Chain A
């Protein structure tokens, strides 16, 4: 499936904004990403297997809350950097263009 990679993580993907990875859950997907791009997983997922506080992962349009989130092969995954502040509860930096 297609994974959109935000700019801070493109040091791992050879500057590519997208990657192809496989898995039936987010845990498996990140295992595949780590295999392809060593070091990337720990920048996004902490040692307790939680998605880091200011990172949001969307599967298609749905916010995934943990690594058990189930995936289909035609899903699109976006790793996003979250900002908080002001009146809006959550804003996302557009890092894909």
Chain B
């Protein structure tokens, strides 16, 4: 069974970073979901050293593991195996013990003679609005939205989306979408209003969707996205493929999206996505193709990308084996390459949409995990990078956990 203490058999990975942290409150950890189990990397207060936990639920596919920032204690973990069905576990002691949902997300039983949907996996966990302290959401594959009001113990489908009149058009066949199946992700809740929500679909009718009535109804929000290269007409309401979308916690009307078709910004009042990725420098064969996108927790104009090879046939690796993040501090008008600390060549990183995260400290820590099982950290906002774990299974998700 899982343990949260540092491994007795595996030496913790320790690296020195170059810039001292200005502020060191509380305990910081990275929750790492992998294709073969979950791991926790615990940082010291200065983020200089990281201790790797034992594997938890080794052999299980952990799509996502998220701490509730509202209590700094509750962690939910989305789990399945190649054989067993999907479920969700909860821990309130940093992975020391886990309790399984008594009613995990599931589609309704179909009437006799009809074919019902079968949930393949829970994909994207999202804590609810601060005014609803025990509410969580999860996006699933096939695409559906579920809500829990008891810290993840029981889940109910959000009928406003799962039974929407356009659901079949938007969600399409389960096999259309990413290799692991079409999915619902990037669940964002406006910190000013629990009824104002966004979700993204990677499916037949891909796109960003917005609700202003807590999920009772949804409307596409995809104007300005250019996915003609994959056959989506410019004026199509849906079809543009979002990989990861985030709204800024300080200015929730500032939105950013890493799409299959580039990196975009939207100011909600304008309602049009603007391709900021076109402003990336024309160097090192980079493009604005990637999966994750992360935002500075306090500055709405600061964003990090980790460009991957977007040329056909979509290598989805760091171009020319030279990894770098790119940072903008002006909302995507200008970008700066950040590659100090990364290998200078022969480093073919690939990463998934949930595998990049930031902490809330000063300066901000930025973290990501690769499909090759490496975890990289920067505690100076990307100026320099340090590998803090390696040889893990294929990493699906990296989330910062800041304990209360």
Chain A residue nearest to B85 in the complex (CB): A43
Interface string of A70-83 (1 = CB under 8 A from B): 00000000000110
Q: Knowing A39-B102, A46-B118, A47-B118 are in contact, say whether A52-B107 is a contact too (CB < 8 A).
A: no
Other than the given A47-B107, A54-B83, 7 more pairs (CB < 8 A) read A39-B100, A42-B106, A44-B85, A46-B85, A46-B118, A52-B85, A54-B82
Residue B110 is within 8 A (CB to CB) of chain A in the complex: yes
B contact residues around A59 at 8 Å (CB): none
Residue B81 is within 8 A (CB to CB) of chain A in the complex: yes
Interface string of A1-36 (1 = CB under 8 A from B): 000000011010000000000000000000000000
Size bracket, chain B contacts:
20 to 34
Total contacts A-B at CB 8 Å: 52
Measured CB to CB, the closest approach of chain B to A48, in angstroms, equals: 4
B118 touches A8 (CB 8 A): no
Mostly, the B contact residues are loop
Candidates B1, B85, B110; contact of A42 at CB < 8 Å: B85
Total interface residues in chain A, CB < 8 Å: 19
A contact residues around B115 at 8 Å (CB): 48
B84 touches A8 (CB 8 A): yes
B100 touches A47 (CB 8 A): no
A82 touches B83 (CB 8 A): yes
Residue B234 is within 8 A (CB to CB) of chain A in the complex: no
Alpha-carbon gap, A44 to B116, bound state (A): 17
B contact residues around A50 at 8 Å (CB): 118
Alpha-carbon gap, A8 to B291, bound state (A): 32
A43 touches B119 (CB 8 A): no
B contact residues around A11 at 8 Å (CB): 1
Alpha-carbon gap, A55 to B80, bound state (A): 14
Alpha-carbon gap, A54 to B112, bound state (A): 24
Candidates B84, B109, B116, B118; contact of A43 at CB < 8 Å: B84
B contact residues around A8 at 8 Å (CB): 59, 81, 83-84
